[in-house]
Chain A
Amino acid sequence: MNIHEYQAKEILKKYGVAVQGGFVAETQEQAIEAAQKVKEEFQSDWCVVKAQIHAGGRGKGKIQGTEQRGVQVAKNPEMAGEIAKNMLGGTLVTIQTGAAGKLVNKVLVAQDVFYPGASEPKEYYMSVLLDRTKKQNVIIYTTEGGMDIEEVAETHPEKIHREWVSPTTGLQPFQARKIAFNLGLEGKAFKEMVAFVSALYRAYEETDSAMFEINPVLKTSDDRIIAVDAKVNLDDNALYRHKDFLELRDLAEEDPTEVEAGKYNLNYVKLDGNVGCMVNGAGLAMATMDIIKLSGGEPANFLDVGGTANAETVEAGFRIIMSDPNVKAILINIFGGIVRCDRVANGVVEAYKKIGDVKIPIIVRLQGTNAEEAKRIIDESGLKVYSAIALAEAASLVEQVLKA
């Protein structure tokens, strides 16, 4: 589960990770108030207004139809209010959001951390995630902060450092020191970085996170180390241990049809194609998307109906897929193992009749237990449904209906 920057920073703070201070706002008035609070707490007129969306690249992104960027410095609370007004309710398009962009419902009014001082501020990059190959968590860090890590990996792979953490011992102090040394720090900044890394790793472990990305980690001009941005991804499978995190879910960030599908326990991901699909099992669902592409179409979605493909789930699946106006055909692909194909076939017929006006061709491929019987049920239903047993057959049917 992804969460917003302001929520991620709240979590980090609880674990003693130093973060850029700030207050969240949903209106222009609240933004002015937040900026005033920032002014009192940090003794500075300046602040930064940051659009809160679940995507990166905000600083370079623009609010659709305007020149307003997704992150901007304000020189006083009134200006912060103006910027917030420009952002709120607007659609922010960044390199990560795609052309459709994301609606901005909240802004974070944060402390300006690039204030002048004794030393030059410096940006670093740090992330914590699972190394699937080594089966250990790894801290990835580099002196090249504030830019896209993929780009650094491309241009300066030698500048990217990795520190693996043993699952038995956890992060050791020498490892935190090594990181601080490798980042070229000394004195107060060195000590702060050691504390920062230790607290960050503890936060990652104790929140059961799947990924932390802090970009940039900033050394301020007075040698403090703070997280200026924070991207946190929580392990969905571990949410049962963190009931309080459930409140952090922002449904506005998710596709409404995906939210709707979730209510029926359907695993649905919306895509941009023209052929919808409904499949049992995640691997077969991905393979079915691939079949659609090879047959000349583009998958409109990923949909795994799981082990129980009954009339109710099939109907819910139909309605969700058909709510997408781009869908020109639907391919249902069920491999009946434990679930019997004849039951699924009856479910399809029932759901079809219940919906009534299905205007697009439906291809049903049922294979496995009672597949022949299932094909007979579909063929004799009198509905405009094409049936298939072999996967190759289903593929050529998709090709056929797309050409028609």
Chain B
Amino acid sequence: MSILVNKDSRVIVQGFTGNEGTFHAQQMIEYGTNVVGGVTPGKGGSLHLDRPVYNTVKDAVNEAGANVSIIFVPPAFAADAIMEAAEAGIKVIVCITEGIPTKDMVTVREYIKGYNCTLIGPNCPGIITPGEAKIGIMPGFIFKKGSIGVVSKSGTLTYEAVDQLTKLGLGQSTAIGIGGDPIIGTTTKEAVEFFMNDPETEGIVMIGEIGGGMEAEAARWIKEHGTKPVVGFIAGQTAPPGRRMGHAGAIVGGKDDTAEAKMAIMRECGIHVVESPAEIGKKMFEVLGSK
């Protein structure tokens, strides 16, 4: 099992014919993802990468049975693309785009409340169920099928953690990059909850960073409802207050969103917190061994 996506996911790419969309669609197809087509308004009816191009997401849903979408459109049009996917009935919407105005994302979050869908991102690497479906921009070869769920705000730091896990023989059920923006679709807590409910996930790696309160929220939920071991890391222990560290959401605004405060509450809630990012895999290995 896995969460949200698997070999039966019927994936479309919004922004299919652009450079990014083309490159990553190709990579996803090579990985074995069931990409059933793509959407580029105005290019409907043509073929791209041997797959049909549709004018609207609705057409892709009706004609190709799409239920997952990955979005590569530029920031100015990304909010619109997410809402179009939700309205068309897409169940899992993955938005890779970085740089969407925060106000647009507030509107998006409010809009999609009315639809039965899960938004991942924006500003994220996507989601992968190893051996089944890669819906994102991550390097597929570092992943291995297994039973560790990974949730992270960051791209390359996710790869780092996954690589450590794989090298220790710990495969992943699903890895999900939730994104580094202030407003994102799926929160840390929601991702953790998916993993807790997935019978094949045995342990969870939760990687956060400075800014916001999502890790604390997840930690409190884990304390109440957690049934599986969680290993945690927070990036930005050395980040100065008030400065944005690359990600739009990675900024220390007050005492509660420092790495230190987050790590403290995670420890209190029974999460196995590591101070060094080099020890994420090792820690999970130890924790599972001593279970």
Contact = CB atoms under 8 A, between A and B. Distances in A.
A290 B277 contact: yes
B99 A237 contact: yes
B246 A130 contact: no
A291 B276 contact: yes
Given A236-B248, A335-B156, A302 B239 contact: yes
Interface stretch (A26-34, A85-93, A277-285, A355-363): A277-285
Contacts, number: 174
A130 B183 CA distance: 9
A286 B156 CA distance: 11
Contact of B212 (A132, A240, A284, A368): A132
A105 interface: no
A8 interface: no
B101 to A, nearest CB: 4
B245 A293 contact: no
B137 A338 contact: yes
Interface residues of A, number: 54
Contacts of A283: 152-158, 180, 207, 209, 235, 246-247, 250
A271 interface: yes
A289 interface: yes
Given A167-B110, A290-B236, A391-B277, A208 B101 contact: yes
A301 B245 CA distance: 10
B277 A291 contact: yes
What interface size band does chain B fall in?
35 or more
Interface in A331-349: 335-338
A308 to B, nearest CB: 13
Interface string A289-300: 111111000110
A138 to B, nearest CB: 11
Contacts of B235: 283-284, 286-287, 290
A74 interface: no
A282 B243 CA distance: 13
Given A130-B182, A287-B160, A282 B75 contact: no
A288 B278 CA distance: 10
A37 B276 CA distance: 59
B210 interface: yes
A294 B156 contact: no
**Best-buried of A236, A280, A286, A367 by chain B (most CB within 10 Å):** A286
B86 to A, nearest CB: 15
Contact of B238 (A137, A210, A292, A336): A292
Interface string B172-202: 0000000010110000000000000000000
B72 interface: no
A395 interface: yes
B129 to A, nearest CB: 17
A246 interface: no
A24 to B, nearest CB: 25
Nearest to B75: A237
Contact of B159 (A133, A294, A304, A335): A335
Contacts of B100: 237
Nearest to A285: B246
Given A135-B106, A369-B139, A286 B163 contact: no
A168 interface: yes
A281 B139 contact: no
A241 B100 CA distance: 11
| Most A CB within 10 A of own CB, among B76, B100, B106 | B106
A167 B207 CA distance: 30
B249 interface: yes
A292 B82 CA distance: 39
B147 to A, nearest CB: 23
A281 B157 contact: yes
B209 A286 contact: yes
Given A132-B183, A289-B239, A368 B159 contact: yes
A95 interface: no
A282 B102 contact: no
Interface of A: 130, 132-133, 135-137, 150, 166-168, 205, 208, 210, 235-238, 240-241, 267, 269, 271, 273, 279-294, 298-299, 302, 304, 335-338, 367-369, 390-392, 395
15 contacts: A130-B106, A133-B214, A150-B254, A208-B101, A210-B102, A236-B248, A238-B102, A269-B245, A282-B154, A283-B207, A287-B233, A290-B238, A291-B276, A368-B139, A391-B278
- List the 3 shortest-distance A-B pairs measured between CB atoms, nearest first: A283-B154, A282-B246, A281-B156
Interface of B: 27, 75-76, 99-104, 106-107, 109-110, 137-139, 141-142, 152-160, 163-164, 180, 182-183, 207, 209-214, 217, 233, 235-240, 243-250, 254, 259, 275-279
